[in-house]
Amino acid sequence: MSDDTQIVSKVLILDNATAHFDTLKQFCDDNNLIGLRAAPKNILRTLNSFIDLGGILMSEDYAGSLNETIELAKKIRSARLELPIILRRNSDSAHLTLPSNTHTCFSGCYTIDDLTPLHQFIQTYIFSVTYPNALIRGIGEITLQSLQGQFKEHTVLTQAPFVVRDRNIFGEVFSLIPIESFWCRGYMMLQTEDSILDSLVISDKGLECTKTPFRVLNNIIGEVTNLIWGAFKNRFIGHDIDRINTSIAQVPIIINHANKYISFGSENPQLCFKCTLIDESTGLFFTIYQWFIFNIDFTTELFEEIPATVDDLIESGELELF
């Protein structure tokens, strides 16, 4: 991962004004956004599926009239309360403010003639947390090495890191491990689908399935989690125990299995990485999502990357004695 890696985020664009598409697309390109569109009849179904979003851009006449758009926004907020919505108003809208009694639906408004409020919205709600480039690059390298070490017969592909505000759980299996350091406190989470075993059993010929399949998967995900966490500690925390924040403050984690929802009690966007593992011999593949949730403490001023020693490189396998 290069030094100029940019964090991106997906936004759902609910706008029918084709004359403005080029302007909105250029705005997305300039602000590290990936714009997505959905057919009006599929919006709620799309939002109820796993789609990692940072926010929603909606025009005031998207559903027909302004009142119909407001009603749709209320339904969206009910389905995905954590996602902020910004309303594009027509240039002739009175005072270019939000319609009365809609502040619970929309986080702000803008016009196509003045994108300044939209830019401020993106910075406030989506890119409100600044992640050091060394951290982003380091996590990407650590995760890639850990997955390649555990899934030797697979090709591991990683996408650009991104941030999300939604709280949807991907798949049926996830691991959680606390992250404790002098500059951050929170959790790392890996998520994948139970169907991962369909490709693992076929491709990893030496995999011992003496246990029930889901226990095999649990062990694999647990091992990857430990590998990443161990490398994370060596690279970003070290052994300076005296500097680690020993505060006993905690935040409840709420999990709703029926709705595939998880909340870490923080409004901060979550730092995410998506990894796809491909078995070239069979064409089978599966996806692992990695989330970093710094929900208790994140003090970037104290962040530092610890230089690796020769012993560390030998232990990790990057170097070997001649």
Instruction: State the pLDDT at residue 54.
Output: 93
pTM of the model: 0.81
Q: What is the pLDDT of residues 112-167, one digit of tens each?
A: 999 999 999 999 999 988 899 999 999 999 999 999 988 888 899 998 899 998 88
Those residues whose C-beta lies under 8 Å from the C-beta of residue 167, and which sit 6 or more positions away, are 82, 261, 262, 263
Task: Domain ranges for the chain, please list them.
Answer: 9-126, 133-316
Sign for the CA dihedral angle at 36, 121, 271, 49 comes to: negative
Tens digit of pLDDT for each residue in 81-107? 889 999 999 876 555 777 777 777 898
Pick 9-126's CATH classification: 3.10.180.10, 3.40.50.2300, 3.40.50.620, 3.30.300.130: 3.40.50.2300
Nearest-angstrom CA–CA distance, 271 and 165: 9
Residue 262 in 3-state DSSP?
Answer: strand
pLDDT of residue 242: 58
Say what the pLDDT of residue 289 is.
94
What pLDDT shows up at residue 251? 81
State the 10-residue block means of pLDDT for the chain, 322 residues long.
70 92 95 88 79 91 90 88 90 67 84 92 91 92 92 89 90 91 92 80 51 73 93 84 60 85 88 92 88 91 74 53 53
- The CATH H-level (homologous superfamily) assignment of domain 133-316 is CheC-like (3.40.1550.10)
What's the rounded Cα separation, in Å, for the pair 128 and 107?
Answer: 14
Q: Select from 60, 59, 61, 52 the least CA-distant residue to 33.
A: 52
